[in-house]
A and B are shown apart, each in its own frame.
Chain A
Amino acid sequence: MKKTALHPSHLKYNAKMVEFAGYEMPIQYSSIKEEHHAVRNGAGVFDVSHMGEIQIVGKEASDLVDYIFSNNVRTLTAEQIQYGFMLYEDGGVVDDFLVYKINDQSYLFVVNAANKDKDYEWILKQNTFDADVIDKTDQFSEVALQGPRSEAILQSLTETDLSSLRTFTFTECTIDGETFLVSRTGYTGEDGFEVYGGHEATRSLFERLIDDYDVTPCGLGARDTLRFEAALPLYGHELSAEITPLEAGLSFAVSFEKEDFIGRKALEKQKEEGLRHRIVGLELLDKGILREGYEIYKDEDRIGRITSGYLSPTLEKPIAMALIDRPHTKKGTEVEIKVRKRMLKARVRNKKFLA
């Protein structure tokens, strides 16, 4: 099993470790609930060094990215970031990720750890351009500092004015004497930063944040409850080779204005013919907790399944995201969920759980 450079720190802070995407990663330190609330109300820091970094560089880098990515990277200026998808010809998703534009001839894809090798192979296969594809995953460590206190904390460690670093932009900056790439991004629904740097420098920063700034170390458990409450999709759950961005309700990251890209025709056809099913929000009306994989019924017919579900730590209510056949996706529709031996009542709602 692979280990990140921060592995010794996880042991030092008494993390419970699990296998995730081939890495030994912290699932929690104190408790998922405590870590979750720390990010909503203060600040938490995550080791996300397992994320993949793939660089596209060369004269025709923009052309390659434009062809394999669903969103319109040509609208980006240097140091801007965009969310989008690589799609299969049939509109299914290879991966969802952020693209960092360094300049017209250099882009960085920050991809899901579990998909990295698949993504890299896919990009190589599509690369008929004058561009190089480089797997840089092992060269960086990465931490995510998330929560309303993040800016004040990080600001006290750098000369760079972070108040002017807008959401979905990045910059190079010196923190504690070391050079990092810092972006105003995250996966929690809170303000925060993702910080990329050398292995030792990132490990020191991680410990400094915890020891000197009272930042809570957070594991993959809280990372998932936080992204879930913010209705952010997770590949393999709300998106997959079988669930298109349109079905997931993420058409904002698909640009039909730009030139051809892989998967475009399939999505246009899907748009024209109408969707068969969609990702919706659910709230449980009976007592219990909705979990991934539970089946959903309407009048004895199976109409879908839960893709992610929790007792929301923030709302203290059982909510879920689910893939449901139309027309049962209409808000207010009452459905039944099979939970072990029981059938529990739930209602379709929007995904703005925190609004």
Chain B
Amino acid sequence: MKVPKNLYYTDTHEWVKVDGDKALIGITDFAQNELGEIVFVELPEESDPVEKGEEFSAVESTKAASEIMSPVSGVIVEVNNELEEAPELLNEDPYKYWIVKIELEDESELETLKDADAYQKLIEE
């Protein structure tokens, strides 16, 4: 299971990649593998505000729907519309295909997230 070093992680298997004052959010390799083939991604609206911990999207496999929680607070400035037509991209390369881009409201929230080593430990449990 891939866990890239340069990302932040949540206990609920989202990843965060910081890009200036913005954060890209996606699901981890572990998450996509647990879900199985992804057949639908429910995307939020651009310019929607989100709170840390709020459900803002859902990723669905044949078997079940899994809610995606925002790792940070801010405003959604971009959604990855590619996933609407090709949700399976999240299986193919979960770290390349982000779901939303959020303008960070409070950078100190990043400190509450896990680093790669801590996340690796979590999924090995």
Contacts and interface: CB of A to CB of B under 8 A. Distances in A.
A125 interface: no
A253 interface: no
Interface string B47-65: 0000000010010111111
Contacts, number: 40
Contact of A32 (B37, B58, B60): B37
A206 to B, nearest CB: 22
Contacts of A287: 40, 84
A32 B65 contact: no
Contacts of A340: 42, 55, 58, 67
B76 interface: no
B104 interface: no
Interface residues of A, number: 18
B62 A291 contact: no
Interface string A281-301: 000000111010000000000
Contacts of A28: 36
B62 A225 contact: yes
B9 to A, nearest CB: 23
Interface in B51-102: 55, 58, 60-65, 67, 84
A31 to B, nearest CB: 5
A221 interface: yes
Contacts of A291: 64-65
A278 B61 CA distance: 28
How many B residues are at the interface, by size bracket? 10 to 19
Nearest to A220: B63
Nearest to B64: A291
A27 B35 CA distance: 12
B39 interface: yes
A258 interface: no
Contacts of A31: 36-37, 62
A288 B36 contact: no
Contacts of A289: 39-40, 60, 65
A36 B63 CA distance: 12
Interface core residue of A33, A225, A289, A310 (most chain B CB under 10 Å): A289
Contact of A288 (B42, B61, B62, B63): B42
Interface of A: 27-28, 31-33, 36, 221, 225, 287-289, 291, 310-311, 313, 339-341
Interface of B: 36-37, 39-40, 42, 55, 58, 60-65, 67, 84
Q: Which 4 A-B pairs have the closest CB atoms?
A: A32-B62, A311-B39, A31-B37, A289-B60
24 contacts: A28-B36, A31-B37, A31-B62, A32-B37, A33-B62, A36-B62, A221-B36, A221-B62, A221-B63, A287-B40, A287-B84, A288-B42, A289-B39, A289-B40, A291-B64, A291-B65, A310-B62, A311-B39, A311-B40, A339-B42, A340-B42, A340-B55, A340-B58, A341-B55
